[in-house]
Amino acid sequence: MQPTEVVAVEWDDAHGSITDEVTPMTLAVMHAPCVMVTVGWLLQFDDEGVSIANEREPDGSCRGHTFVPLGMVRSIRSLVKTPLHRRPMIYERTD
């Protein structure tokens, strides 16, 4: 495998805390996913989700693997500039 495309994956991360006190006011802020952006080499994208790596070695192997299930992915954007300087959208969730 020799990944060649670098992407930015925007995704909804679950979060929690065992030490934060929950009140009606804090729950209004905390009751939502934490939106994350992860950047890396695109390894695989399919109906299960997206796998990216943050390091690529000359032999094609990778390290720093992140897998995000498709239901948590908001968008995947290529970080290659086009002639119009737009970053091509690879995937965008429609709710």
Cα-Cα-Cα-Cα dihedral sign, residues 56, 51, 4, 59: positive
More confident residue, 13 or 4: 13
More confident residue, 85 or 62: 62
- The percent of residues in the chain predicted with pLDDT above 70, rounded, is 89
Tell me what the pLDDT averaged over the chain comes to. Answer: 88
The mean pLDDT of 89-94, rounded to a whole number, is 81
Contacts 24+ apart (CB under 8 A), 45-51: 45/76, 45/90, 45/91, 46/70, 49/73, 50/7, 50/9, 50/76, 50/91
Q: Which of 84, 76, 82, 92 is nearest to 41 (CA)?
A: 76
Task: Write the pLDDT tens digit of every residue in 35-79.
Answer: 999 999 999 999 999 999 999 888 888 999 999 999 999 999 998
| pTM of the model as a whole | 0.79
